[in-house]
Amino acid sequence: MQIGMRIFEPIQKAMALLTGRNISKRYGPIEVLKGVDFSMEKGEIVSIVGSSGAGKSTLLHILGTLDKPDSGEVSLNGQQVTGLSGSALSAFRNKHIGFVFQFHHLLPEFSALENVCIPGWIANTKKSVVKGRAEELLKLLGLGQRLEHKPSTMSGGEQQRVAVARALINNPDIVFADEPTGNLDSANAKELHQLFFDLRKQFNQTFLIVTHNEELAHLSDRIVNMKDGKVVTSP
C-alpha cells in the first residue's frame, strides 16, 4: 500500500535561493521600481541589464539588503529578510551575502590579505581560520605573491580580484556584483568574467550581476532586462 500511495505524492519543487515579490521603491516623486518580481536558483549566474535609470542597481541593492523597499518582500534561502534591521540585518548580510562593486572599496591602509579577512573577523570566526581561507582564495585567484601588498601597489584587475576574494570569505549564499567590470580595461574585464564562471564551477557559487557589458550578460545563464522600473524580459 505504501508504494502505491507514493505514486500519487506531489513532486516537491525546489525552493528558489533568492526571491523578490512585488518590490516597489520611490525616491521623492520618482518611482524607481514598480512592483518587480524576481527569483533565481542556487548556482545560477544572472545578469540584469537595461539603460541608465531603469532601476537595475536599486533592485540589486534591495535584493542584497543594502536598501529597503517601500513595499514588497525579499527572501534569501528561505528566510524573509525585509523585516530584519539593525545588527540582525548586518549579521545576516555579512554571513550570507558577498558584494563586488565597480570600485573595489578596499581599505588602503590594509594589505590584500587583511582586506579579504575583514568580513570574517567581523563574523567572529577564529582568526587563524579566516587567514587560512583568505590565503587560499587569493592564491586561487592568482594573487599568491601579492598577499602583503597594499591596494595602491596593485593593478585595477588585481584590486578587483581582492574584492572578489573578500566577497567569498564567509562562503556566502550569493554574490551581488554591481558593474564589476565597469572600471576595468577589456583584458581584465574578460578575466573577471571567466573568474565568475570558474568560481561557479568550483564552488557552485551564485552570482547576480548588474552590467552594461554585453559580453558578460550574454555569457550568463539568464538575462533580466529592465525598463522604467519594471522587468520587461526575464526568460
Grid coordinates given for 47: 545578469
Q: What is the distance of C-alpha 52 from the center of its chain?
A: 20
54 in a structural domain:
yes
Query: 109 in a domain, yes or no?
Result: yes
Q: Which range of residues forms the domain containing residue 106?
A: 43-69+83-233
Please tell me the total count of domains within the chain: 1
Domain assignment of residue 151, yes or no:
yes
pTM, entire model:
0.86
187 torsion bin: left (phi>0), alpha (psi -120 to 50), beta (else): alpha
- Shortest CA distance to 156 belongs to which of 95, 210, 103, 215? 103
pLDDT one digit per residue (tens) for the chain, 235 residues? 343 433 434 444 457 899 999 999 999 999 999 999 999 999 999 999 988 888 899 999 999 998 999 999 999 988 888 888 888 898 899 889 999 887 778 999 999 999 999 999 988 889 999 999 999 999 988 889 989 999 999 988 899 889 999 999 999 999 999 888 777 788 888 888 888 889 898 889 999 999 887 877 888 899 999 999 899 865 5
What's the CATH number where 139 sits? Answer: 3.40.50.300
In a domain, 212, yes or no: yes
In a domain, 76, yes or no: no
What three-state secondary structure class fits 162?
helix
